[in-house]
Amino acid sequence: MPRFFSAFRSFLVILALVVVAGCGSKEDDAKAYAKSISDRHEALVEALVLYGNMVTAFHKDAKVADREDFIAAEETMRGYVERIGTLRELEKIRLPGDDEELKMAHDYFMISVSYLYESQAMLEDFGYGQGISALALGAWEEARKNFLTFAELLNQLEGNPPLDEGTAPGDATMTEMPATP
């Protein structure tokens, strides 16, 4: 019987090495994920900044929607939305490894995108009114909070020091994504 096990010992050692080599570390998985969504990530950052400025300006003065720079900003936003992709596309992104924290970070990313899209849809579907702009501003704020939580979680998973001392991930409360139009 010992002879039986000794014949398979080298096979078991090789199998164990393959299994261990196939399992990337949490940091490697997070870095691979960050690299795979880098363009979407960058587009979301730029969209959040631009759209936050647009909604804030509109909320202060509705006449701003007719200005050329506001219309140009709307066109720029369309480009960012195309780079980010649809929620369905984001759901299909394959995450490296099987880490729950990485899945949670991706969920925050998707929720941020969802709130941003919901904010845009409010203004487009219901017209540019002051009451709607307040709701759109609130949805944008939720998008921003969820993005900041995503960024901090991903940063920590990559093994980097915290982005902001004293701010723990979880500034945003994960909620269900708003319905998409």
Sign of the CA dihedral running 92, 154, 74, 130: positive
Nearest Cα to Cα of residue 119 among 146, 88, 96, 90? 146
> What is the mean predicted confidence (pLDDT) over 24-47?
90
User: Bigger pLDDT: 169 or 129?
Assistant: 129
- Residues 38, 71 contacting (CB under 8 angstroms): no
How distant is the alpha carbon of residue 144 from its chain centre?
10
Nearest Cα to Cα of residue 160 among 147, 149, 171, 151? 151
Tens of pLDDT along 99-145?
899 999 999 999 999 999 999 998 877 766 667 888 988 999 999 99
Domains of the chain: 26-157 (1.20.120)
Most confident of 12-26, 96-110, 165-179: 96-110
Q: E-strand spans in the chain?
A: none
